[in-house]
Amino acid sequence: MKMMNCRDAAQLMSERYERTLSLRERLSLRVHTAMCDGCSNYGKHLDVLRQATARLREGKTGGDH
Ligand SMILES: [Zn+2]
């Protein structure tokens, strides 16, 4: 099985919010982050960022309550 490098991993991690990754992509990403602290932290960071952004966006557009 081909190992992805950190650049590929970072790319997939940002793409997964815009499209559905294939099973193979998700699997390689998982294998990579399990072994790479840098990418594992980057992934968590992206999640936090994305949640914060989603919350901001909700606050701005969903103003009917
Ligand atoms: Zn990495």
Rounded distance between C-alpha atoms, residue 65 and residue 44, angstroms: 31
For residue 42, the model assigns a pLDDT of 97
CA 35 to centroid of ligand 1, rounded, Å: 8
What residues sit around ligand 1, an ion, with C-beta below 5 angstroms? 6, 9, 36, 39
Question: Where is pLDDT greater, at 1 or 7?
Answer: 7
Rounded distance between C-alpha atoms, residue 65 and residue 52, angstroms: 20
Question: Where is pLDDT greater, at 30 or 65?
Answer: 30
pLDDT band of residue 3 (cuts 50, 70, 90) is confident
List Cα–Cα distances, 56 to 5, 10, 19, in angstroms.
32, 24, 21
For residue 64, the model assigns a pLDDT of 60
CA 52 to centroid of ligand 1, rounded, Å: 24
Q: What pLDDT, in 10s, does the model give residues 7-63? A: 999 999 999 999 999 999 999 999 999 999 999 999 999 999 999 999 998 887 655
